[in-house]
A = this chain, B = another copy of it.
Amino acid sequence: MDRFGWVPSFGGNISARLDGRSIAITRSGGRKGFLGRDNIIAVDLEGRPLNAGDRPSAETLLHCHVYRDLPEVGAVLHGHSVAATVLSRLVTGPAITLAGYEMIKAFEIHHTHDVRVSVPVFENSQDMERLVHDIGPELPRHIPGYILRGHGAYAWGRTVDNAMANLEALEFLLQCELETLKVRGLSAA
């Protein structure tokens, strides 16, 4: 994620399921391209640290939301890309629709490239409980990820490798859409 420029500054967070009741997740702060063991803590599925002294980042709640709702998920990645940030501000509706791309096939869930996929875009907030509420109890089943407007993308998968493959597919598609808008202009969005 660092190599692609998706975790600038202290942005982004990365988690993996430890077992049915806890996850490992990057600590608040720290540059994600330079992670050491000290930058990772364990929390339960409500976001409470297993070691009392640890301070999870606020967005830990969004990760937990995914693990609670989708038992098959083993990893969740959140990055801040230029494409996700810019595109979600340019496109004002509640979703970004993608159609006719082979890359749609890459998402773990789909098995044809014909399908039209809607990537949910939720309004950004600093109130994580409100954000979890806005996202709703059920995460999207048709695509393994969503976007926070002006903020970045979340993606998940059975393993860290699958979550990364899903994030790469999502970011690729967002880049394609942004490049297209640069040629066609916003009226084509």
Interface residues of A (CB under 8 A from B): 4-5, 8-11, 31, 80, 82-83, 85-86, 89-90, 100-103, 105-106, 112-114, 124, 126, 148, 150-152, 161, 164-166, 168-169, 171-172, 175-176, 178-186
> Knowing that A31-B165, A89-B176 are A-B contacts, what are 5 other residue pairs whose CB atoms are under 8 Å apart, sorted by A's residue number?
A8-B168, A85-B102, A90-B183, A102-B148, A181-B183
A8 to chain B, nearest CB (A): 4
Dominant SS at the A interface? helix
Contact B85 A176 (CB under 8 A): yes
Which of B103, B114, B175, B186 is close to A9, meaning CB atoms less than 8 Å apart?
B103
Q: How far is the CA of A10 from the CA of B159 in the complex (A)?
A: 13
Question: Which chain B residue lies CB-closest to A124?
Answer: B102
Contacts A179-B178, A183-B186: A89 and B100 contacting too (C-beta < 8 A)?
yes
Bound: A112/B101 CA distance, A: 35
Does A186 contact B184, Cβ atoms closer than 8 Å? yes
Q: Are A152 and B102 in contact (CB under 8 A)?
A: yes
A150 touches B101 (CB 8 A): yes
Contacts of A165 in B (CB 8 A): 9-10, 31
Closest 4 CB pairs of A and B: A102-B151, A9-B169, A9-B106, A8-B168
